[in-house]
Amino acid sequence: MKKESLGFIGLGVMGHSMCTHLLDAGYPVHVFNRTKSKAEGVLAKGAVWEDSPARVAKAVDIVFTMLGFPQDVEQVYFGENGLFSASHAGECFVDMTTTKPSLSLSIAKRAEELGCQACDAPVSGGDTGAKNATLSIMVGAERSVYERLIPFFRILGKATYEGGPGTGQHTKMSNQIVIAGTMAGMCEALLYARKAGLDEQTMLDTIKTGAAGCWSLDNLAPRVIKGDYEPGFMIDHFVKDMGIALEESKKMGLCLPTLALVQQLYIALQGLNLGKLGTQALVLALDRVSGAGCFKEN
């Protein structure tokens, strides 16, 4: 049986690794990225370069997108040379960007009008999950679409069917709300430990095996201890995600004060031109607020 041909658009910190896994699994992949130089690694592995999203859509059966912001998603799908301008019946579009649930619904509606399929499948796991193919994938789509995509999701990590279009994005918002709280707690704990003169690694090894254990402690706390603020997940993107979650919460009449506070701390880092750092750099904002002088940007 002939393997379905794939497209991949968005070869950033996570998308590059995800595309690489699909290539390594033996699938033909056509790619597009706003900056072509970022595609060099996958092109060396046999990916085929296309000059626009439309050219990708013409060439393949299934297109994966992993982009930055809702406006990027809208342009790639609905723009003059976007995916929908050159789609063909039966084609499937899988947006793995974290974006607005309302945008995912618009994509699903337009895809149906064109005789195509659509799926919102945002992920969690950061650069480590993308590299190790251990991403948690939250899928919103018709059940038949999810079943068509299971073989590809298994290459990238573990997928869970959340429900119809848009539910993947709502699940990702729940995920980001939890992360906002755990990131704040982790960074405050590290600030406290350093100010108290503790051996930070010993402290970390002690508490992560108890009730405080979480992904952030395992993966990001060691980076903070080393002064490594390179992005596994960028502050600018996290501020965007928290903004979407707060917007959706307002629509539902919910008050989420912890989320709002954490977003403001991250916005302060953007104000210091640190938005391209990883989310673990929250410790820098907390350090400045307290005047502790314990952590500094390298």
Structurally, at CATH architecture level, domain 170-290 sits in: Orthogonal Bundle (1.10)
Please name the residue ranges forming H helices in 220-280: 221-226, 235-251, 257-271
Q: Say how far apart CA 237 and CA 60 lie, in whole Å.
A: 29
In the chain, where the domains are located: 6-164, 170-290
Q: Would the CATH topology of 6-164 be identical to that of 170-290? A: no
Which residue from 72, 80, 88, 68 is spatially nearest to 7, judged by alpha carbons?
88
Q: Say how far apart CA 239 and CA 101 lie, in whole Å.
A: 16
Q: Are 13 and 130 in contact (CB under 8 A)?
A: yes
Q: Say how far apart CA 164 and CA 198 lie, in whole Å.
A: 49
Q: Angle 116-125-46 (CA atoms, 0-180°, nearest 5)?
A: 60
Mean pLDDT of 279-296: 95
Cβ neighbours for 197, distance < 8 A, ≥ 6 positions apart: none
- pLDDT one-digit tens code per residue, 144-168: 999 999 999 999 999 999 999 999 9
Residue 1 pLDDT level (bands cut at 50, 70, 90): low
- pLDDT one-digit tens code per residue, 224-261: 999 999 998 999 999 999 999 999 999 999 999 999 99
Q: Say how far apart CA 89 and CA 86 lie, in whole Å.
A: 10
Structurally, at CATH architecture level, domain 6-164 sits in: 3-Layer(aba) Sandwich (3.40)
Residue 298 pLDDT level (bands cut at 50, 70, 90): confident
Chain centroid to CA 46: how far?
Answer: 25
Which residue from 129, 68, 64, 72 is spatially nearest to 95, judged by alpha carbons?
64
- pLDDT one-digit tens code per residue, 33-74: 999 999 999 999 999 999 999 999 999 999 999 999 999 999
Gyration radius of the chain over CA positions: 20
Which residue from 252, 237, 283 is spatially nearest to 124, judged by alpha carbons?
237
Which residue from 152, 115, 148, 118 is spatially nearest to 137, judged by alpha carbons?
152
172 in catalytic set: yes
**Residue 100 parent element (H or E):** none
Give the chain's mean pLDDT: 97
SS3 of 42-86 = HHHCCCEECCCHHHHHHHCCEEEECCCCHHHHHHHHHCCCCHHHH
Which one of 100, 131, 172, 240 is the catalytic residue? 172
- pTM, two decimals, is 0.94
Q: Angle 214-217-220 (CA atoms, 0-180°, nearest 5)?
A: 125
The DSSP call for residue 2 is P
Q: Are 168 and 162 in contact (CB under 8 A)?
A: yes
Terminal-to-terminal C-alpha distance of the chain = 53
Q: Are 36 and 49 in contact (CB under 8 A)?
A: yes
Residue 3 pLDDT level (bands cut at 50, 70, 90): confident
Residue 292 has a pLDDT of: 94
CB atoms within 10 A of CB 255: 8
